[in-house]
Chain A
Amino acid sequence: DAKTTQPNSMESNEEEPVHLPCNHSTISGTDYIHWYRQLPSQGPEYVIHGLTSNVNNRMASLAIAEDRKSSTLILHRATLRDAAVYYCILRVGTSYGKLTFGQGTILTVHP
């Protein structure tokens, strides 16, 4: 499975934007970039996904580099409820939906 590299932890202040980076230099043409987050004591929660173009939804935006070797999850205004572990995952296009989670980035949001 193609691997992703994320910082172990990041910090932000409430109501400020947060940019969570992810490197995936071995990505192949059919790999989708997924982001999930896991709040304390809960199961992971889908955030956003994309293939080549930038994507926006009600939770976040996903910016994908032109060469697709990196991407950034953008939370436009962090709240205390956004404190979680954020996972950047490559879903292989032929893998029948399989998600391979890494260590993720622990996001701390300060009031």
Chain B
Amino acid sequence: EAGVAQSPRYKIIEKRQSVAFWCNPISGHATLYWYQQILGQGPKLLIQFQNNGVVDDSQLPKDRFSAERLKGVDSTLKIQPAKLEDSAVYLCASSREALYNEQFFGPGTRLTVL
């Protein structure tokens, strides 16, 4: 089966600009996750969707980050405006169900904010 797709793979922007990342999960997977991974650290969950509803967004900086999964399939994560500390790899993952044990990760988008 095809894996989790993410685009773009790399993005460089100036601070205060906006950026959007796209994720297409594995077909049939109900749960979608966005993680932020800062260099040298483990991934941190930003938001979790179950179908098109938000299950957990407790660590999402809502003043600048937003995410949507309108039709319960692909998802977009947006940062507006970006700060220097947002430089990181943004990983998307999916699983069949929220309590299903295995999460499948995409390759990530590496964001550099100058």
Contact = CB atoms under 8 A, between A and B. Distances in A.
Interface in A29-79: 32, 34, 36, 41-46, 49
B16 to A, nearest CB: 28
A103 B45 CA distance: 14
A37 B103 CA distance: 12
B48 A98 contact: yes
Contacts of B108: 42-43
A49 B101 contact: yes
B79 to A, nearest CB: 19
Contact of B99 (A42, A96, A103): A96
Interface in B44-83: 44-45, 48, 50, 55-56
Interface in A95-109: 96-104
B107 A102 contact: no
A44 B43 contact: yes
B25 interface: no
A66 B55 CA distance: 33
Interface of B: 4, 31, 35, 41-45, 48, 50, 55-56, 91, 93, 95, 97-108
Interface residues of A, number: 22
Contact of A98 (B4, B45, B97, B100): B45
Contact of B55 (A42, A87, A96): A96
Contact of A103 (B4, B41, B48, B95): B41
Contacts of A87: 42
Nearest to B102: A46
A18 to B, nearest CB: 20
A101 B31 CA distance: 18
Contacts of B100: 97
Nearest to A43: B105
Contacts of B42: 85, 87, 101-104
Contacts of B91: 43-44
5 contacts: A44-B103, A49-B101, A101-B43, A103-B42, A104-B42
A29 B95 CA distance: 24
Nearest to B97: A97
